[in-house]
Amino acid sequence: MSRISKEEWLAIEREMAIEAYQVAIMALVDMGDSEGALNFLRPHMRMSGNAFAINMQRLFDIQGSDMEKIGRLCFLYEEFFHHGLEEVERTPEMLVRVGGTKCLWQGNPKEGCIGGHEMVLNGICEMINPDYQCRFTQMIPKGDLICSYAIERRRK
């Protein structure tokens, strides 16, 4: 067996995890349809976002307003997955991120991105303040050139 660097090992490890997730997503879609797979995933992915918010707040001692916490937690999540989004706007009530051209999900089914990104970010928002939501406006797996989303207060 040839020796590889730690960085190469970690890259292979990450690719294997992403591939396993995508295979599971494709199986869910094949068992029914896209909407059925997303409905099945939603509570689990939101719970994952909830847990991420709790654990990362503790680990990184994240403080501040609700929007500051949500912004920092979403940034951390995207850093772990190398999504490549950049913040282009932030107010006390809204945050907008754009990019995603380096994202590991981009060549995979849209359900993987919706579950593994949009639903998890909504779980983060829900844990910090359920009045906030994450709304994707563009998504590469849906055919857009870039990904973009806004975190904002829910409309009543």
Write out pLDDT tens, residues 86-139: 999 998 889 999 997 777 777 788 999 899 999 999 999 999 999 999 999 999
Long-range contacts at 94-99 (CB < 8 A, ≥ 24 apart): 94/67, 94/150, 94/151, 94/152, 94/153, 95/67, 95/70, 95/71, 95/150, 95/151, 95/152, 96/148, 96/149, 96/150, 96/151, 97/148, 97/149, 98/138, 98/146, 98/147, 98/148, 99/146, 99/147, 99/148
Q: What mean pLDDT do residues 143-153 have? A: 93
Architecture of the 6-153 domain: 2-Layer Sandwich (3.30)
What residue segments make up the domains of the chain, in order of their start?
A: 6-153
pLDDT score for 88: 95
| pLDDT averaged over every residue in the chain | 91
